[in-house]
Structure 1
């Protein structure tokens, strides 16, 4: 139970950033914990549980998208979220930063699904190019190109807004 309490919020947020649906994110998070707990003996280093669980959540989320939205279209306007996991102790400067961050994240969600996913993995989740290639099953050249195009598309949409 302690492990669940420690990681559930971060894993829910990870799934939510990809799926943009609270119920789906909850389902994926529960499935990820179930998978992790049943395959715990495969984890060689207990200190890597968090990153391992996060990878499970991301993979399950991407699989869910592929199964439920084969045409790669998601309704990005259904929900709004920010990058911050909690709102405790927010100063005026933090509020301004949160507002800007929220606008960027909202704009990010208006991009094509693959652009939004790859930028979320790179900028929000902090994965490097090699990890993104593995997660999304794409070549390094395709990854760099897609990230570059996604950033340019995001830049243009922010300039218009």
Structure 2
């Protein structure tokens, strides 16, 4: 049994009943499809939102993704967790939505390695953790789409650069440089927000 790190509800106690629900959904059972939607919608909405940075767009992508999930359910073969399979569809739909919205989302030039994220806050910083997290959240949402997408996939979703290059259809070096640039930009933005409110 593989360990699921995708933050979806597939703990050990759900594995067998989940398989039954999936099989029922494959046979067209609407209640089973609804159960799958309820189990995964919130986590997948969060994934779409982290990529798209717009709640309405994320909701639209979520709906499109689940339509796709249910139309392709017969293709699901249990080689990965169901959550990972759904997440891949959501990520692909999110990327497609970004590409439609902005033709040139992804930047291609390599850059020097970025500073570590921790340097965004000085050791003398006495602000509380909530304020720091708020600054980080604000900076993340101010990033250009390409940076935010790579940063979210790497730092928040746990994908490595090889996986990101496959998902986004970019070079590994581009993923690395965009992550580096995203980190530098977040550091700059958080420092700017600290000094200028």
TM-score interval for Structure 1 and Structure 2 normalised by the shorter chain: 0.7 to 0.9
Structure whose alpha-carbon radius of gyration is higher: 2
By percentage of residues, which structure has more helix?
1
Query: Where does residue 61 of structure 1 map in the other structure?
Result: 94
Asked whether 1:121 is paired with 2:153, we answer yes
Unaligned runs of 5+ in 2: 1-33, 106-127
Q: 2:67 aligns with which of 34, 37, 58?
A: 34
CA contact (8 A) 2:165 2:172 kept: yes
Query: Where does residue 186 of structure 2 map in the other structure?
Result: 154
SS at match of 1:157: helix
1:44–1:98 Cα change, 3 Å = farther
SS at match of 1:70: coil
Which segment is superposed worse, 41-50 or 137-146? 41-50
1:114–1:153 Cα change, 3 Å = same
Deviation, structure 1 residue 21: 2.3
CA distance in 1 between partners of 2:149 and 2:89 (Å): 16
Q: How many residues align?
A: 139
CA contact (8 A) 2:148 2:182 kept: yes
SS at match of 1:109: helix
1:36–1:116 Cα change, 3 Å = same
Deviation, structure 1 residue 28: 0.9
Unaligned runs of 5+ in 1: 73-95
1:31-110 → structure 2 map (5 Å cutoff): 31-45=64-78, 48-72=81-105, 97-110=129-142
Query: Where does residue 114 of structure 2 map in the other structure?
Result: none
CA distance in 1 between partners of 2:164 and 2:59 (Å): 23
TM-score between the two structures when normalised by the length of structure 1: 0.77
Which digits, 9 at most, give the CA deviation of each residue in 1:15-61, with x for residues without a partner? 12222222221111111111111111212217611011111111111
CA distance in 1 between partners of 2:130 and 2:84 (Å): 25
CA distance in 2 between partners of 1:26 and 1:102 (Å): 23
